[in-house]
Structure 1
């Protein structure tokens, strides 16, 4: 590959991170508007805000990563910078524009918690898939059990970078990926940044939910809701990317992904989105059924809860969401709506039809309440072993409650 095509700023960034240009020149993320899957209404809205000069200095893109929050933020940034400099588009596609900065969750290592230490790895992941999730990121670093967050140290580093003049004389943009992972000290420092932003500065926060973001930060941002991607758009995309997949496989993946492109691709890539979750769900339900006649099985539920408690908090919450959706599907199956059941558990000889008969209006509310409460307490740093054990044992009572 002829590396003379690489512009000067790209060489500078590669040299700074000890990256071989010949290795990475071919990798780029094409974040032109037309290449974002679906979301046409939102794309038009954002383009209009730029056309009409109505772009606030602080934006908060809210939605799951698989809906395209980061992809949308990158396209938005590319549009702003390209209108100032015609060469900006390609630099943004390579994630090497010197006036486009990124901040993202990382773990503390040797008392340092700065995302720039792992920018090369994060960049690699996003270039391959801008719809990557937070779990993908922790897996990418093989650090699922470590606590990832955005620190006050990171916020101070951003302040220092934005105190400098723009490299290209135009706007400077900061994208904070998973801003809902900021700790309180970092959030307060970012708040000050939002209150007194340098000139020609845009700050784009990406978050899955607003629950863990300070109300004072929310009040200073234009909130952009990124909705789930329409099923038809995901289906069209998957059909082109996976030409050998059966229509039934694609439709099952679309139904299970529920508007999340990242999940849909994983389902088709692996054949199942959550084999581990399915195995543990079945184990839990079987123990719950046996506990009525064999109280000693409760020890198995305790071991089950201890296994899940070794995961990081985000994975635990995802598992609880999987359980919630599975119980909902079982209820639909029981109430003669099998056409709405896009996923049936059948591994290890599990009898889905027989199990579904136990999920009814008599117990579904109590079961879902337990799952919701467990998710809430875990998100608030409660002891996962205690929470999951309590929830696991309570299912043994709810599962046997018969419909009137």
Structure 2
């Protein structure tokens, strides 16, 4: 989205694109005998586009192959999914991603290891991390400002105003940026919890800001609040994907985080 200048829009395959797919598959193959149509991120098809392609997917023209690629199979409507043969591709190992990054991206081994751990087996995510190192630094600054302000806001009305300002600032960015940031927050909280329970071999996050310590933050993320924090972040992502008012969603999330960071761990 950033490269083509539409980072404030969400990716979507609409009916116009579906009609374009139908038109292209009516063309005669130039060299080979087969025609192949690759639909990337097929879960982004809206209802109108799905209905437009339904007949084509059910009965494609002779020697025509349709490949629907998705990271979220459950988001594809059932009428489309039931007409497809599902082939699952499993995540790449950390070693595979690290080796590919060293060979293709020519980055340091330490950075390649860190990205391989963060990408969770997703090569596309690994490339994004390798090419947008400044993006993570920005997200880190947003996150640290957010959790510090949320922690101070309990019982302090003036600090709540700071949370309002933070929510307004993030709401001005594009929805894809907001969703990526909230995904970053999910991972940050997960890393803090792992650090809290001394699972250091699974902790790869190294905050770059010198005045923030993951070790000091970790005790505030524990079994008593991690599930609620995760659910609230996932709910926020869900509503932002569906074009809810980002400012309201982020402020509501911030107020809930204020309570959750002060929630004690049950014994």
- TM normalised by structure 1 equals 0.61
Match of 1:292 among 154, 171, 175: 154
Residue 356 of structure 1 corresponds to 218
Secondary structure class of the residue paired with 1:164? coil
Residue 220 of structure 1 corresponds to 83
Residue 310 of structure 1 corresponds to 172
Deviation at 1:265, TM superposition (A): 4.1
The root-mean-square deviation of aligned C-alpha atoms, in Å, is: 2.1
**Quick one: distance in 1 between partners of 2:210 and 2:83?**
52
Deviations 1:57-92 (A, max 9, x none): xxxxxxxxxxxxxxxxxxxxxxxxxxxxxxxxxxxx
Residue 68 of structure 2 corresponds to 205
Secondary structure class of the residue paired with 2:2? helix
Secondary structure class of the residue paired with 1:174? strand
Number of corresponding residues: 266
Q: Is the 8 A contact 2:240 2:249 kept in 1?
A: yes
Residue 329 of structure 1 corresponds to 191
Deviations 1:216-275 (A, max 9, x none): 100011112222211111122223345562x33332222122212343345455656611
Gaps of 5+ in 2: none
**Quick one: distance in 2 between partners of 1:258 and 1:294?**
39
**Quick one: distance in 2 between partners of 1:265 and 1:317?**
18
**Quick one: distance in 2 between partners of 1:402 and 1:383?**
31
Gaps of 5+ in 1: 1-137
**Quick one: distance in 2 between partners of 1:187 and 1:266?**
28
Residues 140 and 235 (structure 1 numbering): CA distance in 2 closer, same or farther, change over 3 Å?
Answer: same
Residue 179 of structure 1 corresponds to 42
Where in structure 2 are the equivalents of 1:264-275 lying within 5 Å?
264-268=126-130, 271=133, 274-275=136-137
Q: Is the 8 A contact 2:8 2:176 kept in 1?
A: no
Residue 240 of structure 2 corresponds to 378
1:390 aligns with 2:264: no
Secondary structure class of the residue paired with 2:150? helix
Match of 2:122 among 224, 244, 260: 260
Q: Is the 8 A contact 1:289 1:399 kept in 2?
A: yes
Deviations 1:281-328 (A, max 9, x none): 111101011112532111121222222223333332222121111111
- TM normalised by structure 2 equals 0.90
Residues 377 and 226 (structure 1 numbering): CA distance in 2 closer, same or farther, change over 3 Å?
Answer: same
**Quick one: distance in 2 between partners of 1:259 and 1:273?**
20
Structure exhibiting the larger radius of gyration computed from Cα positions: 1
